[in-house]
Amino acid sequence: MIEHKRTLAGALALAVAFGVAAGIRPGDAAVAAEPVAVSAADAPLRDVLHRLTTLDGAPGALVETHGRRGGAVLTSGVADVDSRTPVRGDSRFRIGSMTKPFVATVVLQLVGEHRVALDAPVGRYLPDVVRDHPGEWRGVTVRRLLQHTSGLPDYLDFLSPQEILTDPLAHHDTRDLVDLALDRPRTFRPGHGWEYSNTNYLLAGLVIEKVTGRPYGEEIRRRVIQPLGLAATTVPGDDPVIPGPHPRGYVRPGKDAPLMDATAINPSVAGASGEMVSNAADLNRFLAALVDGRLLEPAQLREMMTTRPAGDDRAYGLGLERRTLPCGGHYWGHGGDIFGFQTAGGATLDGRQTSVMVNLDPGGTDAQDDDIRAAVEAGLCGGRPGGGASR
C-alpha cells in the first residue's frame, strides 16, 4: 500500500483505545542511536539516515546502495525501542507497495506469452467480478489497472485503520476488499485521469490467478523470486510473521503519542497491492534485473516504462515510477508503506540501485517522506545529493 499514510495516521489518532485489544504494545516516543557507516565517503547519505531517526522520528533506518564500483550498507537507530538493539543491515521488512512492480512484472510476462492483452477489458479475465458489479466497466483495461488510470476507487478509503487494528491477525478476502471499492462510484471515466488506487492491483493479482490457475504469489515466486535468487523475499499470504532478522514495525497514532508496535499483522489486508516482505539487497537485485531487461522482453519493458504524469515530479508507467535525479538524469522505482514500515527503492539504467527502509508508518512526518526520497537519490548519486551522473 502507499499514498494513504496521512489518511491512516489521522484515523489512527482515533484508534489508540484499540491498542490493547489489538495486541499492539506501546513503545518509547522516540529512540535514536548513532548511525553506522562503512566509509567516510558516505557521510551525506549517513546524514540523511541520521535525520530520519532523530528529527523525523523513526526508530530505525537502513539504506543499501549498489553501483559500478561496489556498494554500501548503512544503518541508523534501533530495531526495537525496548531492547534498543541496532538495525541490522540484512534486515527484512514489509515492503508495502513495492509489491506492485513484482505484480506488474508477472502480468507483463503473461502479456509477452500472449496469455494477457494489455488493452483487453478486465471483464475478459474476470467476468464474475464485472457481473457482480454492473457499474460502467467500459474502458477498464489491464493496462489501466497497472497504470492507475482505471478510475476505480481505492478500497482503503472504505476500510478504517480501527477495523484492521482491532483484529490485526484477521484474514481479509481479496474479493471482499475489491467489493468495498466496486460498490462505490468511479472517481473518473477510465483513461481520463490518474489516481493511485490499491484496488487496481488487487484486480491485477486476480487476473494473474485466473489466467495461470495458480495464486499470484506462487507466480511471483516461480517467475521472479526463484530465478533471481531472492532468498529474503516472500509473499506471506496470511502469515503475520516476518521471517529472518527484522526490526519491529511501529505506528504513531498522534503527533505526541507513544509508538505502538504493529509488527505482527495479517498482510492479506494488502494482498497484491502490498503484502510482500523483502530486504534491501533483494530489492536492489530485483530492480537491477527489471530495468536491464532480464525479467521482461524489450516490448514489454517499453510498455512498463511508458509513463504519464502523476504529480510531484514523477511519472507513472505500469507499476514503475520515473523520477528526476538531482545529479542529472532519472531513475526508476517505487515506494511502499504498510503498518510498521515505509520503504522506497530506485535504479538507474547504468547499473546503480538504492533501497531504503524505516520502521515507522503511519505516523511519520512529511520530512520523513522527503528524507526517504533524499536517501534513495543520494545513494544513486554516489552519496552526493548533487553529484554523479545518470542516464
97 is catalytic: yes
DSSP 18: G
Q: What is the pLDDT of residue 270?
A: 97
* CA-only gyration radius of the chain, Å: 20
| 277 contact partners, CB below 8 Å, separation of at least 6 | 92, 93, 94, 95, 232, 233, 234, 236, 242, 243, 267
pLDDT at 25: 52
Which domains are assigned to the chain? 5-380 (3.40.710.10)
Q: What's the mean per-residue pLDDT of the chain? A: 88
Per-residue pLDDT band for 313 (boundaries 50, 70, 90) equals confident
Question: pLDDT at residue 347 above 80?
Answer: yes
Cell of 323: 523520477
Q: Which tops the pLDDT comparison, 311 or 315?
A: 315
Give the per-residue pLDDT at 217. Answer: 98
pLDDT at 210: 98
Question: Where residue 353 falls among pLDDT bands split at 50, 70, 90?
Answer: very high
pLDDT digits (tens, 9 = 90+) for 6-65: 444 444 443 443 343 344 455 444 443 333 334 545 788 999 999 999 999 999 999 999
- pTM here? 0.91
pLDDT in tens, 195-226: 999 999 999 999 999 999 999 999 999 999 99
- Output DSSP code: residue 326: T
The whole-number pLDDT of residue 41 equals: 54
Q: What single-letter amino acid sits at 127?
A: P
The pLDDT of residue 234 is 98
Residues 114-139, mean pLDDT to the nearest whole number:
92
Higher pLDDT, 38 or 72: 72
Residue 92: pLDDT over 60: yes
Mean pLDDT, to the nearest integer, of 356-378? 94
- At 363 the pLDDT is 86
Residue 384 has pLDDT above 90, yes or no: no
Placement of cell 537502513 in the chain:
62
Runs of H (alpha helix) within the chain: 5-12, 43-52, 99-112, 127-132, 142-147, 161-166, 174-182, 198-212, 216-220, 226-228, 280-291, 298-304, 366-380
The rounded distance, in Å, linking the Cα atoms of 157 and 380 is 34
> What confidence tens digit (pLDDT) does each residue in 255-272 have?
888 999 999 999 999 999
For residue 181, give the nearest of 207, 208, 201, 161 by alpha carbon.
201
* pLDDT digit string, tens, across residues 320-342: 999 999 999 999 999 999 999 99
Q: Which residue, among 267, 291, 287, has the nearest Cα to 277 in the 3D structure?
A: 267
Q: Cα dist. 106→44, 218, 362, 391 in Å?
A: 36, 11, 29, 26
Residue with cell 516476518: 242
Which member of 97, 197, 268, 273 is catalytic? 97
Given a cut of 70, whether residue 227 has pLDDT beyond it is: yes
Sheet holding 70-77, edge to edge: 70-77, 60-67, 353-358, 341-347, 330-338, 321-324, 314-316, 308-309
CA distances from 299 to 108, 114, 115, 359, 365 (A): 10, 12, 15, 37, 39
The pLDDT value given to residue 36:
39
- Whether residue 199 contacts residue 154, with contact meaning beta carbons closer than 8 Å, is answered with yes
Secondary structure class of 386 (helix, strand, coil): coil
Contact 284, 11 (CB under 8 A): no
3-state secondary structure of 277: strand
Average pLDDT over residues 360-369: 90
Q: Which residues of 262-275 are buried (b: 16+ CB within 10 A; e: fewer)?
A: bbbbbbbbbbbbbb
Q: Identity (one letter) of the amino acid at 168?
A: P
* Position 390 pLDDT exceeds 50: no
pLDDT at 136: 76
Task: Establish whether the linkage from the previous residue to 362 is cis, with ω within 30° of 0.
Answer: yes
Least Cα distance to 364 among 248, 253, 247 occurs for 253
The count of other CB atoms within 10 Å of the CB of residue 242 is: 23
